[in-house]
Structure 1
């Protein structure tokens, strides 16, 4: 039987070591020293590791030749049970082997794959690739993205994985394979937003304000037929006040809605030397006045000038006609 044991406790960071000195027999001066280390890994979880250092004088014993003996110690508010053994019943000695804890490889690979800061080119499964800055595995900062399927390239600012800030989007020419600029300007949440220029073709482009990836705000559109629209836009359509100048120098100045002339406006027929001013609905004039305007300088004036129409109250007639038109619209 084991008579008594002396316990020394050593604390070091998150580990507690117990040194036990246990006499083998009464009167013997030799003793067995058992080193038991308790490692506290997480809150309310601990792991026990039994060191195989059993010493009796000059000899060493394996941890399988001790009669079972149970005692307990208290550390803080935790009670630890110690099971000790003597040579009287070595067959009852349990053989406990604790497997060495090895971190799975995927954890190490995932740690190495974490992207933050400036990195070399990163390829996706579909062969798209990105070169630039990262933050928490998201494109963030300056960088260049290339899409394999279309060959398109975006070079500019990123924010949390999306195009955000100033950047340029380009695609390769199907014939020459040289890159041509499609859009250059500001982005927000992966869509065009703010001031920017988009090239629809070599002869057609838009410069102005964007919102949610669509032309919205004030902008100027150059069409391939030579006409120019300058004014307000809403969701890719003329909306609000604007001017459309045609290739023959004729132009419309007034109100637009859903991409069509709608409301009060003036149409200058400069090629004929006439001016129409009135009310428009869905691109068609409904009521107004037509007068000569710059007839002497017009390249192809009408054969006869517009005769004067004399009414006692022309303004009242126009107001009545417009009132009737408004009633029909309701």
Structure 2
């Protein structure tokens, strides 16, 4: 999904040019470094952006590109909008090559109602009408996730293990359909840890998701220059054992896994401040999973408004039923 960014200038009296968004790869670098626990001042220094920009993209809940908004003021074509709308609506019944072009709309307005507006206004109006009335398969939209699809990603947070402050590698598993989030503690991010962490979550929820979506091949395998992923033998056996289909996001396409990126930061801020303490990673993982369940019971779905834990049990639990992990 792409979005055309338009450079607009403020009126001269208001000062300088508006600030444009930074490129998507740099946005993803900000979120990746923030997920790893790098301070925001350090992120700003490394990427040569200001701290306000780092805070904006690190805290952003939804990375889905938004359609451009219509900021235009009234124009000469507005009084004739109903007439033009009727022409364009009638075009739906005609072959594509026999429909009104913007120039034909402009010519008819001038010929039939003595319209004296500039031609440059007409293409903009026709384009906006077609964007607003195109079929549902076109245009902008948010990603829709089926119940039972899980997203997986690693994050880093400080924790005390056996009294020592360490970098804890947190494996986050989120179910974006219900916005349910789980996190567990691991000593690293290799293939063995990538297999062990999800099993701890599967045992907690009493089932296995049929599909998992991952950011990249880290720990799972290697991605070549053509974008093809070759899985490690360990992770390939893990998927076969639990009958899971794995999908990998496209490079620089962070919106494909925005739910789990948001969950990494959300859980770190809400569950791991101050740093958690435990004797082992296994014990710390159980503490984290307990806190995730408690958090879901007290949090509401951002769109449906009901408790996330209730929504999870009603919707996703049915998909996982009968898929209990096998040791």
Global fold match (TM > 0.5): no
- The structure carrying a bigger strand percent of its residues is 1
Higher relative contact order (CA 8 A, sep 6+): 2
Please indicate the TM-score interval, normalised by the length of the shorter structure: under 0.3
TM-score (norm 1): 0.18
- The structure carrying a bigger helix percent of its residues is 2
TM-score (norm 2): 0.18
